[in-house]
Structure 1
Amino acid sequence: MLKKIIYASLIVFLSGTAVAQTPAENYIETYKKVAVTTMNQHGIPASIILGIAIHESASGTSRIAKYLNNHFGLKGKSGPKPIKSAYKGYDNVDDCYVDFVSFLKNQFTGLFTRYASDDYRGWAMGIQRGGYAHSRTWASQVTAIIKKYKLNELDTPSSSILQSNVSTPAESEETSTYNVRRGDTLIRIAERFRTTVKEIKNKNGLTSSMLNIGQSLHL
């Protein structure tokens, strides 16, 4: 009897101390810096970027997210990818984020002047009314995700994650070239050197966001 009580107590203790992150929380941790960088560069709320991505990709676990790197449900040619789909395929997730911004700028131009970068409710309704999704509850589903995980806290300058990212002397703004390291992406390099993905691509004649370790980039 005593052994059963001790065993039960141990289970309760462990369940209370070891709380695993949900897929959505893992997704937020992985992409929140990308979302904030995108907000600072283009004016789209970081909460909207993450809220839509989590909703459309099931926190990065859907088939199109896994096989096509498509996190926003954007449709188009998928190219030579593992699965046939009506959804667009990308070489990496960064390309999908960049394409999502381009899509909004082309299809929802008015939102950028109508709503502030901290008005996630306005953005969600505006994107829904513009035909991004057919469901009448799409905007409320996205805003529910934003509220649940308090993603709107990323939309205010005081909580900007980028403010704590100080470049080291070897990575200052005056650096003219940079050698790609393991784990680097164009978005993260642009964030580090306070530039844009478009600027890096233009300076280096890049047509995609694919990078190789050791590759030299002009900044």
Structure 2
Amino acid sequence: MNRKISRIGLVLCLGCFLFSCRAKKTVVVKRPKTNTEKTVNKETEKTSENSTKVYANATEKYIDVYKEIAQQEMNLYGIPASITLAQGILESGSGNGRLSVKANNHFGIKCHGWTGGKIYHDDDKAQECFRKYKDAKYSFRDHSLFLKDRKRYAKLFRLKKDDYKGWARELRAAGYATDKKYPQKLISIIERYKLYKLDKAVLGDSYVEYEEPTSTERVTYTVLKGDTLYSISKKYNITVKDLQKLNGLNNTALSVGQVLVVKP
């Protein structure tokens, strides 16, 4: 009898033990984020914010933003990227003009039967109609089509694609702009920012290497009555000391008819 009771007690104890094991819940304790981890995240964000490109001026930023679009247009329509960008810079004020800001119109293209969005702006006349685009890239495409589809610009496409000077002059001759100095302005922008390199990247081996302009011409001046070293130095934007050095002068004495080198 006692053995039987002992067995029953043993079975009951074993059953209680197994039940208690099943009833236990696993508790997962989350490790709180440390202050160190939070600090690292903030520093990463700060670094990301400070990685913004810095440009010397608005024109450099404009070139960086739109150069690939200009090169794409060159590939598709044969208009030098240098010319497209220079025109965009000049016409839009490096992207800061009213038409470019309000209408994404970077080339001052007027409506001319345009059925899309419009904006009115004072130009040759008060409140003229200009085209309005949803995105600046459409302005670049419309500029390409504007030149390609009009007969008066046909001569442009007979010029070499690396001849940006020829393109600048022919644009003016074809009536794109009324400003007599328009070609010089485009050429100046292209050479200042070396935009011809964008043409070279597109043309590859067929590009004719552009040579940086250098002045090797020696300039002289013949002394007239009343001239002094000081007056001559002012006229040619050179110091008296440099003028003396160029001509091997030990003093400021001059004689009428004397020939001076004013630019080596």
Band the TM-score falls in, shorter-chain normalisation: 0.5 to 0.7
Q: Aligned match of 1:144 in 188, 203, 215? A: 188
**Native 8 Å contact 1:53 1:71 kept in 2:** yes
Q: Which amino acid counterpart does residue 97 of structure 2 have in structure 1?
A: S
1:73 corresponds in structure 2 to 108
Q: Distance in 1 between matches of 2:115 and 2:90?
A: 20
Identity across the alignment (%): 38
Distance in 1 of aligned mates of 2:117 and 2:156: 34
Query: Is the alpha carbon distance of 1:80 and 1:157 closer, same or farther for their aligned partners in structure 2, counting shifts above 3 Å?
Result: closer
Query: Partner of 1:94: helix, strand, or coil?
Result: helix
Kindly name which structure, 1 or 2, has the bigger radius of gyration based on alpha carbons.
2
Unaligned stretches of 5+ residues in structure 1: 1-17, 161-219
Name the aligned partner's letter for residue 61 of structure 1.
Answer: N
Specify the alignment match of 2:147 in structure 1: 104
Q: Counterpart of 1:106 in structure 2: which amino acid? A: D
Counterpart mapping for 1:41-52 below 5 A: 41-52=76-87
> Residue 82 of structure 2 aligns to which amino acid in structure 1?
S
State TM-score, norm by structure 2: 0.50
TM norm structure 1: 0.60
- C-alpha distance in 2, partners of 1:71/1:128? 18
In 1, the alpha carbon distance for the partners of 2:203 and 2:166 equals 21
Q: 1:20 to 1:75 in 2, by over 3 A?
A: same
Range with greater deviation from structure 2 (84-93 or 48-57): 84-93
Aligned length: 141
- Aligned AA for 2:154? T
1: CA distance, partners of 2:202 / 2:146? 28
Q: Deviations over 1:160-212 (max 9, x none)?
A: 7xxxxxxxxxxxxxxxxxxxxxxxxxxxxxxxxxxxxxxxxxxxxxxxxxxxx
- Cα distance in 2 for residues equivalent to 1:68 and 1:23: 19
Question: Is the partner of 1:110 in helix, strand or coil?
Answer: helix
Instruction: Provide runs of 4+ in structure 1 moved above 2 Å.
Output: 18-21, 77-81, 83-86, 157-160
Higher relative contact order (CA 8 A, sep 6+): 1
